[in-house]
Structure 1
Amino acid sequence: MKKVLLGLAALLGTATVSASDNNLWEKSTLNEILNRGELQVCLEAGYMPFDMRDKKGNLVGFDVDIAKTMAKAMGVKVDLRNTAWDGIIPALLTAKCDIIISGMTITPERNLKVNFTDPYIVVGQTILLNPKLEGTVKNYRDLNDGKYTITTKLGATSDYATKKYMSKAKLNLFETESEAVLEVVNGNADAFIYDLPYNAIYSSQNADKIVHLDESFTYEPLGFAIRKGDPDFMNFLNNYLAQIKGDGTYDKLYNKWFVSDSWIKNVQ
């Protein structure tokens, strides 16, 4: 009798786990995407070469291509939703999109609100400098002085990095990267702090107007952000990343956007 009861308990336990698993799957964003037939992605256009608009107004970039290949792997369409940076996490949390793929740095503060996949790329902060300071300012430490004015984008990790490492300098914050860097180009600020890929591309286009100090002074892994409590979606995303890094897809996209500059002539 004891063996029968133990066997029954084991069966009931299995049934409970199975029902629980099914319930989790039904609530998973991945299941919703497959049933909907569409992957909804939040991003913010304006971060070269991750998310931009081409001359026809289409969203293009490294993140855009990753989103498209992800949707293809799922067998669904992709809906790219351009979202202001200060509202991008709230948009995800209120289910206005399924995922954020927008060059978002993984930070403890953000991780309290959302879950991040494994990093899909690692970048760091660098400096775009007013040419008049070339040779005088050699690194971020030299900018930590009250006589200097630094610009960057409001709410980006460059905002926090500048406050941490250059707290003595005057900091002016702007809604977009382009507004902030133009202050340096126009002579209204001494330096612009932002991610290496953006700064490298911008400096290559404006070599006569700005100097790039290209040694990163921070370590910033970027990840896809999703809502909490969704192990099935997270499992798919991390396995998807491993797959494209192993089969050559990732390298192809990386070379297209970070090694080649042929795309620059086609963007706004």
Structure 2
Amino acid sequence: MQVIIRAILVVCTVLVSLSVIASEEQARNFDDIVASGELRIGVSIFPPWVMRAKDGQLIGSEIDMAKRLAADMGLKPELALYEWKALITALNAKEIDIIISGMGINPARAMQVNFSRPYGDAGVGLAANTALTSTFKSMDELKQPNINIGVIANTVSADVATRLFSRTNIKAFATEDEAQDALINGKLHAFIGANPLPAFLALKYPGKVDVPLEKPLLSFKEGLAVRKGDSDFLNYLNAWVVSRSADAWIPSTRQYWLETLEWQEQVQ
């Protein structure tokens, strides 16, 4: 009996040791990442940050960022596509090394991950139907019961619209295309959505749509997100953001993807 008990204890000890080793292998720090030769990057589809090209490849501002970061580290980029809400879970489950997906820095997320210094600005903006709003003198005229404002359902933009335009008739749409059509066809006075969509609509439909506000309705900063506890990786990312901002690589990359429509031929 004692022999059997000892054998069981030995097996349990081995299993626990293997589990600890596997966990340690998965919990890669900065040195482990560099030694592995690859950078595992989590992204989520959200044009023009991340989207599918005609050939099925992932493209967008964050894909360029991911590839450049990996190249500067001398690593191969391994892109992993997730639903937005699963990104932080995947990071902390050690499935990926970093999130590069235009993630806004806020206190709640900072409790779960470490953010790099900001590399870009984002937020929520407003596009207006030019014909319906050409005589408006201020945003207060959009805050009336007879005004129709469109949003995408279940988004931050929808929450912002409800909070700022509580007296206005808010119409929720399932897709951007539906909201866009309603705005262009005069069924909406304005559309509230994540930047740069309002600006893209004005570029796409000059004379029909404009962006009347100088500042966004809501602003936030975007950062790279990594697991807590790896200060070396975070220090490198901060240095990388500073360097690639100073040499204008990050601003020029974001200008192409977020302020022009030159990339549209790649996805249409």
TM-score range, shorter chain: 0.7 to 0.9
1:246 matched residue in structure 2 = 246
- Residue 177 of structure 1 and its aligned partner are, at CA, apart by 4.4
- Residue 214 of structure 1 and its aligned partner are, at CA, apart by 4.4
Q: Distance in 2 between matches of 1:97 and 1:175?
A: 31
Q: Distance in 1 between matches of 2:264 and 2:34?
A: 35
1:37 aligns with 2:37: yes
How far does the alpha carbon of each residue in 1:201-222 deviate from its partner, in whole angstroms, 9 at most, with x for none? 2321233653333422333211
Q: Distance in 2 between matches of 1:176 and 1:41?
A: 27
SS of residue matched to 1:86: helix
- Residue 235 of structure 1 and its aligned partner are, at CA, apart by 1.1
How far does the alpha carbon of each residue in 1:41-78 deviate from its partner, in whole angstroms, 9 at most, with x for none? 22222322x22222222221221111101001111111
Q: Distance in 2 between matches of 1:31 and 1:139?
A: 55
Q: Distance in 1 between matches of 2:80 and 2:143?
A: 38
Contact in 1 for aligned 2:173/2:179 (Cα 8 Å):
yes
How far does the alpha carbon of each residue in 1:169-206 deviate from its partner, in whole angstroms, 9 at most, with x for none? 35455666455544534655443222332321232123
Q: Distance in 1 between matches of 2:169 and 2:239?
A: 44
Contact in 1 for aligned 2:200/2:259 (Cα 8 Å):
no
> CA separation of 1:166/1:35 partners in 2, compared to 1, >3 Å: closer, same or farther?
farther
Q: Distance in 1 between matches of 2:192 and 2:231?
A: 36
Calculate the TM-score normalised by the size of structure 1.
0.74
SS of residue matched to 2:196: helix
How far does the alpha carbon of each residue in 1:115-145 deviate from its partner, in whole angstroms, 9 at most, with x for none? 2211101133221223453235566544334
Q: Distance in 1 between matches of 2:71 and 2:137?
A: 45
SS of residue matched to 1:124: strand
Contact in 2 for aligned 1:146/1:169 (Cα 8 Å):
yes
SS of residue matched to 1:263: helix
2:236 matched residue in structure 1 = 236
Q: Which amino acid aligns with 1:109?
A: A
Contact in 1 for aligned 2:103/2:222 (Cα 8 Å):
yes
Contact in 1 for aligned 2:27/2:94 (Cα 8 Å):
no
Calculate the TM-score normalised by the size of structure 2.
0.74
1:224 matched residue in structure 2 = 224
2:128 matched residue in structure 1 = 129
Q: Which has the larger radius of gyration?
A: 2
Q: Which amino acid aligns with 2:226?
A: I
Q: Which amino acid aligns with 2:239?
A: N
Structure 2 unaligned residues grouped into runs of 5+: 1-23
Q: Which amino acid aligns with 1:79?
A: E
SS of residue matched to 1:194: strand
Q: Distance in 2 between matches of 1:182 and 1:110?
A: 34
> CA separation of 1:149/1:79 partners in 2, compared to 1, >3 Å: closer, same or farther?
farther
Q: Distance in 1 between matches of 2:181 and 2:79?
A: 28
Q: Distance in 1 between matches of 2:95 and 2:42?
A: 8
1:207 aligns with 2:206: yes
Q: Distance in 1 between matches of 2:153 and 2:87?
A: 13
Q: Distance in 1 between matches of 2:150 and 2:244?
A: 36
Q: Which range moved further: 52-61 or 183-192?
A: 183-192
1:104 aligns with 2:117: no
> CA separation of 1:182/1:57 partners in 2, compared to 1, >3 Å: closer, same or farther?
farther
Q: Distance in 2 between matches of 1:237 and 1:129?
A: 38
How far does the alpha carbon of each residue in 1:145-178 deviate from its partner, in whole angstroms, 9 at most, with x for none? 4444444345654244323322333545566645
> CA separation of 1:209/1:126 partners in 2, compared to 1, >3 Å: closer, same or farther?
same
1:20 matched residue in structure 2 = none
2:46 matched residue in structure 1 = 46
Q: Distance in 1 between matches of 2:139 and 2:190?
A: 10
* Structural mapping, 1:9-158, within 5 Å: 27-48=27-48, 50-135=49-134, 140-153=139-152, 156-158=155-157
Q: Which amino acid aligns with 1:205?
A: K
Contact in 1 for aligned 2:151/2:179 (Cα 8 Å):
yes
Contact in 2 for aligned 1:47/1:198 (Cα 8 Å):
no
Structure 1 unaligned residues grouped into runs of 5+: 1-23
Q: Which amino acid aligns with 2:249?
A: T
2:11 matched residue in structure 1 = none
